[in-house]
Chain A
Amino acid sequence: MKKLSARRRHPLAAVVVLLFALAVTGGLYAAFAPADTAKADDTAQSLAIEEGKKLYSVGCASCHGTGGQGTSDGPSLVGVGAAAVDFQVATGRMPLQQQGAQAPRKKAIYTQAEIDQLAAYIASLGAGPSVPTKNQYSPDGADIAKGGELFRTNCAQCHNFTGKGGALSNGKYAPSLEGVDPKHIYEAMQTGPQNMPSFPDTTMSEKNKKDIIAYLDTVNSDKTKSPGGLELGGLGPVSEGLFAWIFGLGALIAVAIWVAAHTAKAKKS
């Protein structure tokens, strides 16, 4: 004890105390805070809505209201449909980590079975787009060239020509579409998550969506062939020109300086 009190005026004492206090507070919170995922019973298909409601009450109700009617912290979920729930929760955007310009994509914290139950509950609140079937979003047999045209007309303004993403106003952004499940791309087009406008089947047919997914699968996936190599963000001439001017011309200048700095004389000065 005497040893401890002798060090109480050490410059680092305040830091140590602060860290200790933070660790204790955090530890206590973790121990006593309500678990943010309730356990779902994935065998009870007929009770999906009931189970979904339970999950909703724990994980979502604080922002979206107890009946999905929405609060000042979150929009109403009546009529958004199962597709919107599947997109938002399965891409980890919901539950929201913190309020901000936009919910980022992160690791999903619910299992697919739990997501299906949540979706069933939200779909029961009001009619909305349902989760697409594999047949609807699979890129097999689609017209890739037509998909490219549709992508450039409808999507490229925000998501870049090859789906690399881009900036919007006030901290919002169009995310990169690299590695996004075709199902989630389909759902996003159908439901219009966050600030993205929706592209419903009435104005962009199911076939159109399939073509767009096939185009993205060709230009922005693991299978993508990049004949040029070193894409530099896929931004086109700006980043490529900058790279050529700085590194290409820079290397030539460095070689010229190296040549001039080395004398050819026998007697080195």
Chain B
Amino acid sequence: MSSQDIPEETLPSTQGHAHEGAVATAGDPFADPGLPPHEPRMQDIDERAAKRSERVVAFLFMLSMLATVGFIAAYVTLPVDKNIYVFPIGHISALNFSLGLTLGVALFCIGAGAVHWARTLMSDVEVADDRHPIEAAPEVKAKVLADFKLGAEESGFGRRKLIRNTMFGALALVPLSGVMLLRDLGPLPGTKLRKTAWSEGKMLINQNTLQPLRPEDIAVGSLTFAMPEGMKEEDHDFQQEIAKAALMIVRLQPENIKDKQELDWSVDGIVAFSKICTHVGCPISLYEQQTHHVLCPCHQSTFDLADGGRVIFGPAGHALPQLRIKVNDKGYLEAMGDFAEPVGPAYWERG
């Protein structure tokens, strides 16, 4: 950029001049420039252009009508299970595709037609609507105040104290019914989060075969999911109970178990851990059999099943609860009680 490009008045010499005296103004510098002159559209000048626009809008609306008819026709005629190939979406249900396409065209054409109509044919003359003061005229104000005073006198509000006070009482009590409804947020959970369906003597039932598990069924490196004896998937509260009681069973070489309590609570290296992450309660069972790590898919908390379910990575705050198990006299695995601590996220029950 050369000096020739700079407008003269912005050069320092010119500016220095201006600072000496009053700023050079041509009248009011903040004068309202008013609206720019109205520019007509082709449709305002040429009746043929206006007719053309009209036809375009009508065409869009008619296309929308046809698409709606197409939607109904597709819904009636196309079978639910017909699959077609459409580039670039790939394989897709013919019914889904045609319903979506026709409904999309029907809605889009109404919108496009309305926009085209508004922009080319409806009046686009600029209209100014000046603001007016918010305050009412003094005589109106005086009249309203006088009316109010008269009304208060006529109602006897100030004179009949009994009516006034009982009305205050009624108005104050009404919100209480709303407060009472909050009771339905309860009752408090009690010990529901502390206890699971596990209890002493309940056998571990394999969730795949629904048969009780024996220690010899469980190979080193395998992963099995178990639920407490006596639970049925048809039960009304099955989902609520399994959400707390879900158990994963793995078998380690006993010499690989680093935590003494974990070893004591296991049967020949078979350990049973809660499947519920102690962070926010996602089901975790991404078990890596070589590292004995369990990964939570939600926030990547990682637990070491060879070391008492210790947290080795991620936001979880507590080790995974372990279920103490033994072999009963029939040779099946059974629980020796409930989990020693609440399963899942860190609730107040943990103390």
In the complex, the answer to whether B250 meets A265 with C-beta atoms within 8 Å is: no
In the complex, the answer to whether A196 meets B217 with C-beta atoms within 8 Å is: no
In the complex, the answer to whether A203 meets B83 with C-beta atoms within 8 Å is: no
Please tell me which one of the listed residues A168, A225, A266 contacts residue B40 in the complex, with CB atoms under 8 A apart. A266
In the complex, the answer to whether A225 meets B207 with C-beta atoms within 8 Å is: no
Question: Shortest beta-carbon distance, A147 to chain B, in Å?
Answer: 11
Q: Is B27 an interface residue (CB 8 A)?
A: no
Query: Please, how many angstroms separate the alpha-carbon atoms of A195 and B222 in the complex?
Result: 10
Q: How many residues of B contact A (CB 8 A)?
A: 51
In the complex, the answer to whether A203 meets B92 with C-beta atoms within 8 Å is: no
Query: Please, how many angstroms separate the alpha-carbon atoms of A199 and B45 in the complex?
Result: 81
In the complex, the answer to whether B91 meets A168 with C-beta atoms within 8 Å is: no
Please tell me which one of the listed residues A168, A228, A264 contacts residue B295 in the complex, with CB atoms under 8 A apart. A168
| Chain A residues touching B, range | 35 or more
In the complex, the answer to whether B124 meets A264 with C-beta atoms within 8 Å is: yes
Stretch at the interface among B67-75, B157-165, B280-288: B280-288
Q: Is A208 an interface residue (CB 8 A)?
A: yes
In the complex, the answer to whether A203 meets B286 with C-beta atoms within 8 Å is: no
Question: Shortest beta-carbon distance, B23 to chain A, in Å?
Answer: 32
Q: Which residue of A lies closest to B313 (CB)?
A: A169
Q: Which residue of A lies closest to B295 (CB)?
A: A169
Known: A157-B297, A226-B90, A227-B93. A259 touches B115 (CB 8 A): yes
In the complex, the answer to whether B218 meets A169 with C-beta atoms within 8 Å is: no
In the complex, the answer to whether B222 meets A192 with C-beta atoms within 8 Å is: yes
In the complex, the answer to whether B40 meets A150 with C-beta atoms within 8 Å is: no
Question: Shortest beta-carbon distance, B274 to chain A, in Å?
Answer: 15
Q: Which residues of A (141-176) have their CB < 8 Å from a CB of B?
A: 150, 153-154, 157-158, 166, 168-169, 172, 174
Q: Which residue of B lies closest to A195 (CB)?
A: B288
Question: Shortest beta-carbon distance, A203 to chain B, in Å?
Answer: 4
Query: Please, how many angstroms separate the alpha-carbon atoms of A231 and B93 in the complex?
Result: 13
What residues of chain B lie closer than 8 Å to A198, measured between beta carbons?
Answer: 219, 221-223, 289
Q: Which residue of B lies closest to A174 (CB)?
A: B286
Q: Is B258 an interface residue (CB 8 A)?
A: no
Question: Shortest beta-carbon distance, A125 to chain B, in Å?
Answer: 18
Stretch at the interface among B144-152, B208-216, B259-267, B339-347: B208-216
What residues of chain A lie closer than 8 Å to B59, measured between beta carbons?
Answer: none
In the complex, the answer to whether B92 meets A265 with C-beta atoms within 8 Å is: no
Question: Shortest beta-carbon distance, B307 to chain A, in Å?
Answer: 15
What residues of chain B lie closer than 8 Å to A202, measured between beta carbons?
Answer: 216-219
Q: Is B238 an interface residue (CB 8 A)?
A: no
Q: Which residues of A (206-265) have their CB < 8 Å from a CB of B?
A: 208, 225-231, 259, 264-265
Q: Is A74 an interface residue (CB 8 A)?
A: no
In the complex, the answer to whether B41 meets A265 with C-beta atoms within 8 Å is: yes
Please tell me which one of the listed residues A174, A194, A228 contacts residue B96 in the complex, with CB atoms under 8 A apart. A228
Query: Please, how many angstroms separate the alpha-carbon atoms of A194 and B287 in the complex?
Result: 11
What residues of chain B lie closer than 8 Å to A230, measured between beta carbons?
Answer: 89-90, 92
Interface centre among A194, A197, A265, by most chain B C-beta atoms within 10 angstroms, is A197
Query: Please, how many angstroms separate the alpha-carbon atoms of A168 and B284 in the complex?
Result: 12
In the complex, the answer to whether A229 meets B208 with C-beta atoms within 8 Å is: no
Question: Shortest beta-carbon distance, B152 to chain A, in Å?
Answer: 54
Known: A195-B291, A197-B289. A264 touches B41 (CB 8 A): yes
Known: A169-B293, A192-B222, A200-B222. A229 touches B92 (CB 8 A): yes
Known: A228-B92, A230-B89, A266-B39. A154 touches B223 (CB 8 A): yes
What residues of chain B lie closer than 8 Å to A66, measured between beta carbons?
Answer: none
Q: Is B123 an interface residue (CB 8 A)?
A: no
In the complex, the answer to whether A229 meets B86 with C-beta atoms within 8 Å is: yes
Q: Which residues of A (71-93) have their CB < 8 Å from a CB of B?
A: none
What residues of chain B lie closer than 8 Å to A150, measured between beta carbons?
Answer: 208
Q: Is A134 an interface residue (CB 8 A)?
A: no
Known: A203-B213, A266-B40. A226 touches B124 (CB 8 A): no
Question: Shortest beta-carbon distance, B239 to chain A, in Å?
Answer: 13
Question: Shortest beta-carbon distance, B118 to chain A, in Å?
Answer: 10
In the complex, the answer to whether A197 meets B283 with C-beta atoms within 8 Å is: no
Query: Please, how many angstroms separate the alpha-carbon atoms of A205 and B40 in the complex?
Result: 81
In the complex, the answer to whether A265 meets B39 with C-beta atoms within 8 Å is: yes
Known: A169-B293, A229-B86, A229-B96. A203 touches B288 (CB 8 A): no
Q: Which residue of A lies closest to B90 (CB)?
A: A229
In the complex, the answer to whether A169 meets B302 with C-beta atoms within 8 Å is: yes
In the complex, the answer to whether A199 meets B295 with C-beta atoms within 8 Å is: no
What residues of chain A lie closer than 8 Å to B217, measured between beta carbons?
Answer: 200, 202-203
What residues of chain B lie closer than 8 Å to A204, measured between beta carbons?
Answer: 208-209, 224
Please tell me which one of the listed residues A194, A196, A197, A225 contacts residue B83 in the complex, with CB atoms under 8 A apart. A225
What residues of chain A lie closer than 8 Å to B97, measured between beta carbons?
Answer: 229
Question: Shortest beta-carbon distance, B246 to chain A, in Å?
Answer: 10
In the complex, the answer to whether A225 meets B81 with C-beta atoms within 8 Å is: yes
In the complex, the answer to whether A157 meets B285 with C-beta atoms within 8 Å is: yes
Taking beta carbons and an 8 Å cutoff, which residues of A are in contact with B?
A: 150, 153-154, 157-158, 166, 168-169, 172, 174, 192, 194-200, 202-205, 208, 225-231, 259, 264-267
A229-B90, A231-B90 given; 14 more Cβ-contact pairs under 8 Å: A168-B286, A169-B313, A195-B291, A200-B219, A203-B217, A208-B208, A225-B81, A225-B91, A226-B90, A226-B92, A227-B96, A229-B93, A229-B96, A266-B42
CB-based closest 9 A-B pairs: A229-B92, A197-B223, A227-B93, A202-B217, A195-B288, A229-B89, A197-B289, A266-B42, A203-B224
| 8 sampled A-B residue pairs with Cβ under 8 A | A157-B286, A192-B221, A203-B209, A203-B213, A203-B224, A205-B208, A227-B92, A229-B96
